[in-house]
Structure 1
Amino acid sequence: MSTDRRLRVLRAIVEDHVRTSEPVGSRALLERHGLGVSAATVRNDMAQLEAEGLIQAPHTSAGRVPTDAGYRRFVDSIDEVRSLRPAERRAIKDFLADPTDLDDVVERTVRLLAMLTRQVAVVQYPSLTRSVLQHVELVPMGERLMIVLITDTGRVEQRLVDLPEGTDAEDIRGLRDLVNGAASGRTFTEVHTALEALRADRPGEHLLGVVCTVVESTLTEEREERVALAGTSSLVRHTTDFGPALEEVVQALEEHVVLLRLLQHTQPGEGLLLEPSVAVTIGTENDHSGLTTASVVSTTYGADGVGALGVLGPTRMDYPGTMGAVRAVASYLSEVLDNR
């Protein structure tokens, strides 16, 4: 029973500190929360929580604040994240309705997430390596041929190759149908096998070989994934929380590699919470020395986790509310991509 009670005391300290940004004392806990115990019991529980490294005194006052370990215990004890209000859900749906293209979808999503959470929002573009090839279009452009690859998430890649003399529109249409018949609707790994078989069946067709090679190399080449960022101005509201580390936080946000690494915690097996794709990393858990005063709440979106999104803020964060907002936005983004 005392363990359960101490957890209630810890939750109360976290909630009060997040709301007020001030150290929390035993008197305030008794006044604001129905703990049903004496002041002496609360003080004893706080002493035990401090001995366990879950709270600490920031200075010589009677109040205590959560440590990273305290926030972790709090987050791990969350049974249900806070649901968005119906008005908020309608706003999300309206905000993401009828996008013009993939860039528009991502830009709307990252701005929406920043507004809902009042934190820095990050959205990873759908990853090519986890996508399905939807269509290959071949567009003649004088002496050159544009090869256009369209994925199931709406991502588009374009490449130009030289067009052999004497190639007419019917030849190009036939080639397009051949390539799509072999590759469309397949994962990128499957595309490679399918196009290898197609080339083997038609070894003398030079342009077919060129197109297949370009498609394969485009889908397998190493490239930095793209991310979109919004809400960096919110950091100004948290200068006290971040302290001297604020400059390091800003520098980290300027590096896309760092942002992608932060979102990797949403992948299976990385300390997931509640649903298979919701994750929280707190303070020193972040894989970057400049983010020891920050927390990241992230999740995947789309079929098979084709991309990830999340928010970054101080460790003094409304975790249930932030987790609910991140999960809801990811759900709506998945619907938008499914309907494209």
Structure 2
Amino acid sequence: MLRSIQEQVLESFHYLHCHPEISWEEANTTNYIGQLLEKNGCKVVKFDDCTGVIGEYGKFDSDLPIVGIRADMDALWQEVDGTFQPNHSCGHDAHMSIVLGVLWKLQKTDSIKDKVAIKFIFQPAEENGTGALKMVEKNVIHNVDYLYGIHLRPVQETAPGRATPVIVHGATKMYDVEILGEDAHGARPHLNHNAIEVAAQILNMISQIHLDPRIPHSVKMTKIQAGGKNTNIIPGNGSFSLDLRAQNNELMDKLEVKVNDIFQSMRHLYDLDINVTHIDGIVAAVTNEEATDIMRKSIIETLGEENLDKPLVTPGGDDFHFYTVKKPTLKASMLGLGCNLSPGLHHPNMTFDKEYLMNGVDILYRAILNTYEKK
């Protein structure tokens, strides 16, 4: 008996949900997806030095535009019921299942394989912001003209049964910083600079950064470590982390200048080494009106105009936007899917209604057809 597309999507979701793997360790996920892609008529591409898998479906030796459909693969490492473990609390298991559903739906459409050129991009390591850059390095998008992604949205942002044609993510930067000094006796505070007080002064100074109030932005100290087991030692060494957010890339550049100016001022003031040891980051969304219009039309055709939301502006981030920054001619949009997701993304017990997975499949399928109709 042939299974319906919905049954296949739910089956793949259940498997992926029960076999989560963290960033750059998605080996089983890569093999599982690769087997399904090959079984369902795709040319499969894997990589020798990293996880991730690409499926090419359709006619690539023609002048057809190439449409990429991207799904992120990795889970988070977090505490669940008292135990740290991989956990799909950001919905990547759903994203992969939806994109597989698009492939299965294409197969059920008569003669479509000769009329499309679809690149299914199952990308690793979105959670640490490095997977998309690796795919760019691997030339995955060098010949892609349109790129569509999808992300489940919390119920606070997008109501169940509704969808937004584009998610306008903000930029994120994460700094790890060390303070290098010397310890001193608790009775002699004049002999060193207390790393805790230095970090506290930096915290106070970053809270006084004021940029354009019309554009959301923030800087927070999210971790601080200093001192040891003895309470009568004034610590000279310490470390801290900062989380920087800005709604566009231009403001993020200004925010970073301000933060680094503070570090430089503190170095001069205390004659200390304050070293930035690591920076991670994700760029803000660079939107494309044509791709957004295609997704908007596809939502209306699938769910009805009454269930179309406006573009969603969110301070969260996604490395999907590295694709458009690295290839400015790429026309891309990320679909935001309402699915009764609660309590929120990255909550260890995040849940959503599985019945809405097929909305994602149907909208992305329509986006593919609408893209080729425009041509």
TM-score by length of 2: 0.25
Bigger relative contact order, structure 1 or 2 (CA pairs below 8 A, ≥6 apart)? 2
Larger gyration radius, structure 1 or structure 2? 1
TM-score of the superposed pair, with normalisation by structure 1: 0.27
The structure carrying a bigger helix percent of its residues is 1
Structure with the higher strand share, 1 or 2 = 2
